[in-house]
Amino acid sequence: MPLLTNSTYRPPLWARNAHVNTVLSAIGRQVTDITYERERLTTPDDDFLDLDWFRSGNKRLLVVLHGLEGSTDRPYMRGMVRCAGDNNWDALALNFRGCSGEDNRQVRTYHMGETSDLNYVVWYALEKRNYASVALAGFSLGGNVVLMYLGRDRSDVPDAVVGGVAFSVPCHIPSANDCINNWENAVYRYRFMRTLNQKLRQKAMRFPEVLPNPAVKSTDFFSFDDYFTAPVHGFSDAQDYWESCSSLLYLPDIQKPTLLINAWDDTFLSRECYPEKLAAKHPSFYLEVPRWGGHVGFYTPGERYFWSEKRALEFLNSIS
């Protein structure tokens, strides 16, 4: 049964606070010994995706997806790419639309359930770059995209995709957003909303026929998603978007080996984000719940690789 009950992650005592683990992993680490090769890929709707490659001639490719308002330069992204490159994988770090330092061309951007760009990149890597196999790794929002792709969109996934790993995923979005609104997450919420509002104002000035109020400012995810994410991407409102894009609904449909790692102390996640009963009976969906780790944390001081990176490669090597 793929419910993994004995996680090996053991941070030092001083890193067993969820916020310490989360913050240290984000700002207390630099991964500077890799150099990306940037490629701009034009999409079928005349937009672009900025791909950051790290290649050494391997036939296996790991595609890595970042979280909300992240980019390929976040330490967790660079760390995962480096670990893959050191262990006989090529890596492709995908910047979601509008996250590479330049606003994308279309009014649409990215969201929790937007998988068409991932699918386009996977097929591009297989057909144009001639990889024999592809694996996926995603963090937070990017992890939800991976799970949606492997579950909801399973019929579109190429046979060469061997499976995936997802970390710190709010797989039940409505209840996870209740957690984000708790006082202890106020600083994180503020940082998210600051950059989202900046991008929204840019969009409103460029697309006044779609977004008529360039001065709009949201203070929480509900107001932002209700005004922008939902209508722009074809949902009736924020609640429809959250419910439709909760990967928890589609985990039973996953057919390729997939590992979800959600730390038990992650302050972004509700109890619905730990689908233990499903994992206990599902042949392909694995769930690991470390006691500690925070949100996209798993701080591992003094080592080249974080525990999360070693754990991802261990799992992916076992299925490829």
Q: Looking at the annotation, which residues are catalytic? A: 140, 266, 295
Dig out the tokens for 26 from the structure: 């984000």
Dig out the tokens for 177 from the structure: 């957003």
Q: Compute CA distances 40 → 46, 53, 195, 318, whole Å.
A: 12, 11, 23, 32
Give the chain as a 3 state SS string: CCEECCCCCCCCHHHCCHHHHHHHHHHCCCCCCCCCEEEEEECCCCCEEEEEEECCCCCEEEEEECCCCCCCCCHHHHHHHHHHHHCCCEEEEECCCCCCCCCCCCCCCCCCCCCHHHHHHHHHHHHHCCCCEEEEEEECHHHHHHHHHHHCCHHHCCCCEEEEEEECCCCCHHHHHHHHCCHHHHHHHHHHHHHHHHHHHHHHHHCCCCCCCCCCCCCCHHHHHHHHHHHHCCCCCHHHHHHHCCHHHHHHHCCCCEEEECCCCCCCCCHHHCCHHHHHHCCCEEEECCCCCCCCCCCCCCCCCCHHHHHHHHHHHHHC
